[in-house]
């Protein structure tokens, strides 16, 4: 079976707009990931950013990533609005209940993508499209993210913008933009489990 090219699907939808800017609710996970995505999509959409990430641990880290997102938008994308939902890690823990012991790129992560993307779709009822920045990471499965997007679109009705933002040098461009705007780049995905795994890696490295 031929692998789908989600970047071409993005471009096809953009071409179909005929230069008319549609509204887009963009779920963002952090400033580094959103930097390139905002640069790319702001030429074609009127964007509202949704910062909904109760998976991030600890709360101080959540706040730090939120402030970096606000700083990036103010500096580089002043026309972009930001919606922020209150931090409640219990929402995340309920979403991944029973999968806590699984590692990265497991069903635990799939569930994490899903509940955040569902929230975006719920809030995108008055928007033309919704999507997420998650696919820009080389550590996340674009197939999972886009399959979820299509399924969630069918349930909630708001059109999902398929994407694989790491394509066409998107991930590398995000690194460059982080340098331009001096953006904090975190060294773990975000949840308490990835935080604990990071600490273990650091401990093992110190022993060597």
In tens, the pLDDT along 44-86 reads: 999 999 999 999 999 999 999 999 999 999 999 999 999 999 9
Mean pLDDT, range 24-32, rounded to an integer: 98
Residue 1 is assigned to a structural domain of this protein: no
Residue 73 is assigned to a structural domain of this protein: yes
The answer to whether the CB of 154 falls within 8 A of the CB of 121 is no
Give dist(CA 203, CA 208) in Å, integer.
9
Give dist(CA 134, CA 93) in Å, integer.
19
Residue 132 is assigned to a structural domain of this protein: yes
Q: Which domain holds residue 55?
A: 6-207
Mean pLDDT, range 6-20, rounded to an integer: 97
Question: Which pLDDT tens digit goes with each residue over 83-121?
Answer: 999 999 999 999 999 999 987 889 999 999 999 999 999
Question: What pLDDT sits at residue 208?
Answer: 53
CATH number, domain with residue 31:
3.40.50
Q: How many residues does the chain have?
A: 208
Q: Is the pLDDT of residue 29 over 60?
A: yes
Domains identified in the chain, total number: 1
Question: What pLDDT sits at residue 4?
Answer: 92
Question: What pLDDT sits at residue 200?
Answer: 86
Q: Is the pLDDT of residue 177 over 70?
A: yes
Average pLDDT in the chain: 95
Residue 107 is assigned to a structural domain of this protein: yes
- 3-state SS class at 48: strand
The contacts of residue 197 (CB under 8 Å, 6+ apart) are 103, 104, 188
Residue 160 is assigned to a structural domain of this protein: yes
Residue 63 is assigned to a structural domain of this protein: yes
Is the model's pTM score more than 0.85? yes
Residue 60 is assigned to a structural domain of this protein: yes
Task: Give the residue carrying structure tokens 């930001």.
Answer: 82
């Amino acid at each position: 079976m031929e692998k789908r090219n989600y970047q071409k699907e993005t471009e096809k939808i953009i071409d179909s707009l005929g230069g008319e800017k549609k509204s887009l609710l963009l779920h963002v996970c952090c400033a580094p990931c959103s930097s390139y995505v905002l640069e790319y999509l702001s030429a074609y959409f009127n964007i509202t950013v949704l910062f909904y990430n109760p998976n991030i641990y600890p709360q101080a880290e959540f706040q730090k990533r939120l402030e970096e997102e606000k700083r990036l938008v103010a500096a580089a994308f002043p026309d972009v609005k930001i919606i922020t939902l209150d931090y409640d890690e219990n929402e995340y823990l309920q979403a991944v209940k029973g999968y806590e012991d699984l590692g990265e790129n497991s069903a635990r992560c799939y569930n994490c993508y899903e509940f955040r993307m569902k929230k975006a779709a719920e809030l995108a009822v008055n928007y033309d499209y919704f999507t997420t920045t998650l696919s820009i990471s080389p550590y996340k499965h674009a197939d999972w993210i886009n399959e979820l997007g299509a399924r969630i679109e069918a349930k909630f009705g708001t059109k999902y913008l398929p994407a694989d933002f790491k394509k066409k040098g998107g991930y590398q461009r995000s690194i460059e933009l982080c340098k331009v705007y001096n953006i904090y780049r975190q060294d773990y995905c975000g949840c308490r489990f990835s935080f604990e795994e990071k600490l273990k890696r650091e401990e093992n490295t110190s022993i060597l």
